[in-house]
């Protein structure tokens, strides 16, 4: 307590000096404010991107591999592909199931865009997908109503379905949907379950459509294949996706390479599919974020360097202005250490106040970026602590030289200084 009390005179003198020259102090702090604000905003953007990235990976499943049929740009490209490859098919599904080790569960997928729906939807038209019961396990889905369809219902092409959360609200509002019926085109499907809300990406990831994961009507694969007609089916893929989950001890990236090699051979290198590996996406996004973080740190570092130089400059000017005061203090018994402490305290106070204003600026800036660019930003206690610590460190480093110059002044010459 005594040691803290010993600094109170220097703190009081430092604050008095700052208040005497308010505009000059504020201009000196601008570099710190912008620098610290940039650090806070950069860390908020990085934390937001990290959170969003993890929601993508959780949604896709870190142990999963997803094969997606690649849609052709136009009919001519599709016909050219079909001359080489039949597209994604049950044959590919069986080839993967029989020849790729380490796969715990897998299911084909067939998608349809309904032409008509009853009840009428209040939002975007949901997508109908047909999958096998393993889809629930592969994607670690959770139900809030009812159950998922079982293998027997898939085998018998039962007219049942499970709704995504958005599709359920669009069709039935917020009332329970269990046991109700949905008419998709000309087919009635009974709702046996409703899925919990899933995390979704703001855009498609690596050719994988992930933006409408909650706006789905999920039915047994055989039900979809046998009850719904696919127009131009001779040109379209027999199935348009394969989901697979690998064992815990299996490397999903290596397994994906094996899957890709098998499909490339059977498709004669037609380039009509994508193999998406969430574990690989995670690593790729980490590398991208590291590069982004380095760039942002450099930008913030330049701002902080400019702020530090501003503090040094103004402190040197202050030493010159207060040469006579320094001489008088030395003459009445102040030691060099006292003079160093006095001016170092002032420099640190400038950086502390500038740092606090910078944190407020950075917090506001992160909110503006989130609103304007649509990015996810998260201001954490760690980012605030890092930014504040850096600002204090800058004040300490750039205040040492002016403080030492002040302490080196000869007391007699300093008193004579005009």
Q: Cβ(79)–Cβ(223) under 8 Å?
A: no
Tell whether the model's pLDDT for residue 203 goes beyond 50.
Answer: no
Query: Do 296 and 247 have their domain in common?
Result: no
Kindly state whether residue 277 falls inside one of the protein's structural domains: no
pLDDT score, position 237:
76
User: Are 288 and 321 in the same domain?
Assistant: yes
pLDDT at residue 113 is higher than 70: yes
Question: How far apart (Å, rounded) are the C-alpha atoms in residues 360 and 19?
Answer: 21
Helix boundaries (H) for 21-74: 22-60
C-alpha pair distances (Å), 139 with each of 58, 105, 108, 134: 9, 10, 13, 9
Flag whether 62 is in a domain.
Answer: no
Q: Which domain holds residue 206?
A: 71-271
What per-residue confidence (pLDDT) applies to 242?
93
CA angle 128, 55, 71 (to 5 degrees): 40
The encoded tokens of residue 261 equal: 């090699």
Same domain, 43 and 91: no
pLDDT of 333 over the 50 cut: yes
Q: What is the pLDDT at residue 1?
A: 43
Domain boundary residue, one of 271, 294, 316: 271
Residue 250 and residue 330 share a domain: no
- Which tops the pLDDT comparison, 161 or 211? 161
Work out how many domains the chain is built from and give that number.
2
Cα 216 to Cα 125: distance, rounded to the nearest angstrom: 9
Q: Say whether both 167 and 302 belong to one domain.
A: no
User: What pLDDT digit, counting tens, does each position of 22-40 carry?
Assistant: 777 788 788 788 888 888 8
Average pLDDT score over residue span 101-107: 91
Q: Is residue 279 part of a domain?
A: no
Q: 209 falls in which pLDDT band (50, 70, 90)?
A: low
User: What values do phi and psi take at 199, rounded to 5?
Assistant: -65, 140
- The reported pLDDT for the residue numbered 336 is 80
Written as six digits, the tokens of 294 are 């380095």
Q: How many CA atoms lie within 13 A of 405 on its CB side?
A: 16
Give 57-90 pLDDT, tens digit per residue: 666 667 788 899 887 777 777 777 878 888 888 9
Are 255 and 300 found together in one domain?
A: no
Out of 212, 245, 271, a domain closes at 271
Q: For 218-233, what is the mean pLDDT?
A: 82
Written as six digits, the tokens of 302 are 């330049």
Helix (H) or strand (E) holding 241: strand 241-246
Residues 334 and 394 in one domain: yes
Task: Identify which of 99, 97, 157 has the alpha carbon closest to the alpha carbon of residue 132.
Answer: 157
Q: Between these two residues, 88 and 375, which has the higher pLDDT value? A: 88
Q: Which of 57, 55, 62, 53 is nearest to 290 (CA)?
A: 53
306 shares a domain with 339: yes
Query: Rounded to whole angstroms, what are the CA distances from 153 to 61, 81, 189, 242, 337?
Result: 26, 35, 12, 20, 85
Copy the structure tokens of residue 150: 């079982």
Pair (355, 313) in one structural domain: yes
135 in a structural domain: yes
Considering the domain boundaries, does residue 278 fall inside one?
no
Report the first-to-last Cα separation within the chain, whole angstroms.
Answer: 39
Domain boundary among 241, 271, 301: 271
pLDDT of residue 219 exceeding 90: yes
Residues 191, 137: contact at Cβ < 8 Å?
no
If asked whether residues 80 and 147 sit together in one domain, one would say yes
Q: What mean pLDDT comes out for the span 304-320? A: 81
Q: Are residues 105 and 230 in the same domain?
A: yes
Whether residue 65 is contained in a domain is answered as no
pLDDT at 269 over 50: yes
One domain for residues 246 and 97: yes
Q: What is the rounded distance in angstroms from the CA atom of residue 283 to the CA atom of residue 304?
A: 31
Q: What percent of the chain has pLDDT over 90?
A: 24
The pLDDT tens digits of the residues spanning 127-161 come to: 999 999 999 988 888 999 999 999 999 999 999 99
> Does a structural domain hold residue 276?
no
Strand 127-131 with 143-146, pairing: unpaired
pLDDT of res. 303: 74
SS3 of 182, please? strand
170 vs 204: which has the higher pLDDT = 170
pLDDT score, position 148: 96
Contact 38, 303 (CB under 8 A): yes
Residue identified by tokens 């396990």 is: 137
Query: Residue 2: is its pLDDT beyond 50?
Result: no
Phi, psi angle pair for 365, to nearest 5°: -65, -40
Of 220, 400, 214, 213, which Cα lies nearest the Cα of 319? Answer: 400
Residue 61 lies in a domain: no
């Amino acid at each position: 307590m005594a040691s803290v009390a010993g600094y109170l005179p220097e703190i009081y003198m430092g604050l008095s000096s700052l208040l005497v020259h308010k505009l000059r102090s504020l201009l000196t702090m601008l570099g710190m404010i912008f620098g610290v604000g940039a650090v806070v905003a950069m860390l908020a953007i990085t934390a937001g991107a990290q959170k969003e990235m993890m929601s993508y990976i959780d949604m896709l499943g870190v142990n999963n591999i997803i094969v997606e049929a690649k849609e052709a740009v136009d009919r001519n490209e599709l016909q050219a592909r079909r001359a080489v490859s039949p597209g994604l098919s049950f044959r590919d599904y069986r080839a993967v199931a029989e020849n790729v080790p380490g796969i715990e569960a897998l299911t084909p997928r067939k998608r349809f865009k309904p032409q008509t729906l009853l009840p009428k939807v209040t939002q975007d038209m949901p997508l109908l997908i047909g999958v096998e019961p393993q889809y629930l396990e592969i994607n670690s889905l959770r139900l809030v109503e009812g159950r998922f369809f079982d293998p027997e219902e898939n085998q018998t092409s039962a007219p049942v379905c499970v709704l995504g959360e958005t599709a359920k609200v669009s069709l039935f509002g917020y009332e329970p949907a269990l046991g109700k019926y949905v008419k998709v085109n000309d087919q009635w499907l009974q709702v046996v379950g409703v899925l919990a809300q899933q995390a979704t990406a703001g855009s498609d990831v690596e050719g994988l459509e992930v933006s409408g994961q909650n706006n789905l009507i999920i039915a047994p694969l055989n039900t979809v294949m046998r009850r719904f007609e696919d127009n131009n089916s001779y040109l379209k893929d027999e199935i348009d996706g394969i989901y697979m989950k690998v064992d815990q001890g299996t490397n999903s990236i290596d397994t994906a390479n094996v899957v890709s090699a098998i499909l490339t051979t059977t498709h004669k290198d037609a380039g009509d599919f994508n193999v998406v590996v969430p574990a690989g996406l995670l690593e790729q996004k980490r590398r991208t974020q590291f590069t982004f973080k380095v760039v942002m740190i450099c930008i913030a570092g330049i701002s902080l360097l400019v702020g530090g130089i501003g503090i040094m400059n103004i402190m040197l000017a202050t030493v010159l202005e207060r040469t006579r005061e320094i001489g008088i203090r030395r003459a009445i018994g102040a030691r060099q250490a006292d003079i160093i402490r006095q001016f170092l305290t002032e420099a640190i106070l400038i950086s502390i106040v500038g740092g606090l204003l910078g944190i407020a600026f950075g917090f506001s800036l992160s909110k503006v970026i989130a609103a304007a660019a649509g990015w996810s930003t998260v201001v954490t206690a760690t980012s605030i602590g890092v930014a504040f610590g850096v600002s204090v460190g800058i004040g300490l480093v750039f205040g040492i030289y002016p403080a030492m110059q002040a302490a080196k002044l000869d007391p007699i010459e300093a008193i004579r200084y005009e």
